[in-house]
Amino acid sequence: MTDIRQLIAESKRYNLHSHTEFCDGRATMEAFARKALELGYDLYGFSPHSPVPIESPCNMHRDKVERYLAEIDRLNAEYGDRCRFLAGMEVDYLGSLWGPTNEYIAGLPLDYRIGSVHFIPTPDGKLVDCDGSHERFAGYLERYFENDLRYVVDRYFTLMTEMVEAGGFDIVGHLDKIADNASSVSPGIEDEPWFIANVNRLLDAIISSGVIVEINTKKFAQYNRLFPSPRYWKRLIDGGTTLIVNSDAHVPALIEASRDDVIKMLDNVARHQG
């Protein structure tokens, strides 16, 4: 078992969330590896979206998993004296249908697993990808959920909390990411008491579980968005949660994606803990 906490304690030149041609990324693993080497990384993890038992253009197909793992071995054989490459996977939690505890996922020889929620079930059970652009989200909200934004947000946080309680993974992915799309439809929603209560229930579960939480920097430079919101960092730190900083890059040029700035922000919060 790979000790993620120990590895990130040894160096801040790491990144454990990225997507390549094996899912919805737009470059090869080789291209990402070369960029990581150029940037002086000591540790670089790949995390393709896991296979899922539904149709999804963003998720890795099962028949590519063996080739993905072989490519990790090849990169380590070629470049491992300069940077260690880890085999991760971002596993979609689909309730009882699929998740990190699934026998297939649990049996894969991975260094770590990120647990995330992207799909929200409609009242009649259809799974809808509620990630993506603001425009797409607004369209899906009307088409599949009759513009019931609270239903979508409540279901998102319920699924995230269930996933944390079920376990089987190492890192919580972008834990409040639904806030971005929800706020595009209803500005100020993150300050609503019911929204905050949803987040707090999830944070309680995370602190109790001891799982690692990523601070996802993907949208910081363009939208001033971090997941989780900085308003929750101190509570997580006070609860003993390990926070790491990942860029969720889909192209090599965005591997850094504000990581240095956010690491400084996190260090500042940690220094003023208590």
Per-residue pLDDT tens over the stretch 156-182? 999 999 999 999 999 999 999 999 999
In the predicted structure, residue 109 carries a pLDDT above the cut 90: yes
Residue with tokens 């890192």: 171
What pLDDT, on a 0 to 100 scale, did the predictor assign at position 139?
98
What pLDDT, on a 0 to 100 scale, did the predictor assign at position 270?
87
In the predicted structure, residue 91 carries a pLDDT above the cut 90: yes
What pLDDT, on a 0 to 100 scale, did the predictor assign at position 1?
66
Per-residue pLDDT tens over the stretch 64-75? 999 999 999 999
**Distance from C-alpha of 200 to C-alpha of 202, rounded to nearest angstrom:** 5
DSSP label of 49: B
What pLDDT, on a 0 to 100 scale, did the predictor assign at position 271?
84
What pLDDT, on a 0 to 100 scale, did the predictor assign at position 227?
98
In the predicted structure, residue 274 carries a pLDDT above the cut 90: no
Distances in Å between the Cα of 27 and the Cα atoms of 74, 126, 249 are: 17, 31, 10
DSSP label of 12: S
What pLDDT, on a 0 to 100 scale, did the predictor assign at position 177?
97
Do you know the residue count of the chain?
A: 274
What pLDDT, on a 0 to 100 scale, did the predictor assign at position 175?
97
3-state DSSP call for residue 101? coil
**Distance from C-alpha of 224 to C-alpha of 197, rounded to nearest angstrom:** 23
What pLDDT, on a 0 to 100 scale, did the predictor assign at position 272?
77
What pLDDT, on a 0 to 100 scale, did the predictor assign at position 254?
97
Q: Is the dihedral of CA 104, 107, 109, 112 positive or negative?
A: positive
Residue pair 50/60 in contact (Cβ under 8 Å)? The answer is yes
Residues 6+ apart with CB under 8 A from 25: 18, 19, 32, 48, 249, 250, 251
Query: Which amino acid does the sequence have at 214?
Result: E
Q: Is the peptide bond before 193 cis (omega within 30 degrees of 0)?
A: no
